[in-house]
Chain A
Amino acid sequence: MGQFLNVALLVLRKDVAIEVKSREILYTTLFFAVSCVLVFAFALVKEGRVVEDASAGILWIAVAFAGTLALGRTFERERYGETLRALLLAPAPRAAIYVGKLLGIVLLLAVAEVALVPLVALLFGAAFFARPLLLAGLLASGTIGFAAVGTLFAAMLVRSRSRDVMLPILLYPITVPVIIAGVRGTVAIAQAAPDEAVAAMWIGLLAAFDVVFVTLALWTFEPLMTE
């Protein structure tokens, strides 16, 4: 167990070190998320006011789209340097490599969300911060769920020629429960009278999703990455 965690943290440290040096994925992902928010603003703002509940949807779609981009880029980097093979050849449990990559993506998206949530709240006058703890719970459990499925698929797609189109095609139908739970939970928090029970219920569903899909990914990562 100690070695497992060590390997996972080493992979995470490697990714963070590369990212801190170049900041490429963070900047591009964040800029992409902001452009998404603007595109949706033009679609959903009517006479200067945003359609009811749309701000929660805009936030989550921006997170999902930006997340897809970040997933693609992280593994593209590994492919470019031919380093994924080196990682897989390392005498370390494969699942630990998955966990390290997953933590890296979650961390990256968390940083992006720190900027994105206040921006969406400000632009659309949404009361996201009425229940900050519940919001943090929703974002954390939702991001982990999305990244858990995404990291596995992105890792598998490294070898595929059509990886750019395949990732969103595979990822979105399967992560729909995350989007629904995230959006409905955020709406419950941001409405005039925040409904804590509903938000907590969605967090529960997201937590169950996380447990099931992280377990499945840990379980399938080894045979999937074996050539």
Chain B
Amino acid sequence: MTKRYFVPLLVVTAAMFAYAPILIANAPYESTMGLVQKIFYFHVPSWFAMFTAVFICGIQSAIYLFRGRAASDRVAAAAGELAVVFGLLGLVTGPLWGRKSWGVWWQWDARLTIALLLELTFIAYLLVRKYGGPGSEKLAAAVGIFGMANVPFLYMSVNIWRTIHPPTSVVPTLPAGMPGPFWFSVAAFMLLLTILMTLRVRLEQQRAALDELYLALEE
């Protein structure tokens, strides 16, 4: 099934990514921040993609742990990796904007800190998968579940600790002309996430199939 939809999906996503710069360039300038505000069209969507990946990873890890479904473990592994990739994208674009609008590269602001901590959690997830040795899938699954459950606590604790980031209420109150390109970018990023996930899961599937063939050969 995935094969049939994959190529059209790829074409649509490529077209959207090709068109997005034009749409972003034509979007109105924000009154106080000017040009640097445009980073918002790919900074925020990359966080959306990261959080989606985090939740996919957590839920699939739970399914793997309780049902023992190997396919869920593969999806979780792919999602964990993509959470790190999109998180990195956010962590790179964030300071670029921060340098221009706060005057510093990094601030110990609530959302930045949460992002960094989540990124660390999922890097730990990948490290466990890679270096945990035999049986590390279950360990990783626990990290995935705990990482997801930790999101609200990170959110609350860090938020009370400090806040200078533009609040999340920015998105519903966007001035006219901005929501269009913004949601377009979000959709493009979500499609990109889907495509990368599909590819990554397929790779894991083939790896598993290859392992099985080796085992069959040995017997």
Contacts and interface: CB of A to CB of B under 8 A. Distances in A.
Interface string A200-227: 0100010011001100100010011001
Interface residues of B, number: 31
A156 B142 contact: yes
A170 B66 contact: no
B132 A223 contact: no
Contact of A174 (B141, B150, B158): B150
A157 B157 contact: no
A12 interface: no
Contacts of A209: 153
A177 interface: yes
Interface in A34-61: none
Contacts of A161: 133
A46 to B, nearest CB: 20
Contacts of A181: 157
Interface string B142-162: 110111011001101110110
Nearest to B132: A160
Nearest to B136: A160
B157 A170 contact: no
Contact of B142 (A153, A173, A208): A153
B149 A213 contact: yes
B117 interface: yes
A220 B139 contact: no
Contact of A149 (B127, B146, B158): B146
A205 B132 contact: no
A159 interface: yes
A5 interface: no
Contacts of B138: 156, 223-224
Interface in A148-179: 149, 152-153, 156-157, 159-162, 166, 169-170, 172-174, 176-177
Given A176-B117, A180-B158, A223-B65, 16 more contacts: A156-B139, A157-B139, A159-B133, A159-B135, A162-B131, A162-B133, A169-B127, A169-B128, A170-B124, A176-B157, A177-B153, A180-B161, A184-B161, A205-B156, A212-B153, A224-B65
Query: 4 smallest A-B Cβ distances: which pairs?
Result: A177-B153, A177-B157, A173-B121, A173-B120
Interface of B: 65-66, 117, 120-121, 124, 127-128, 131-136, 138-139, 141-143, 145-147, 149-150, 153-154, 156-158, 160-161
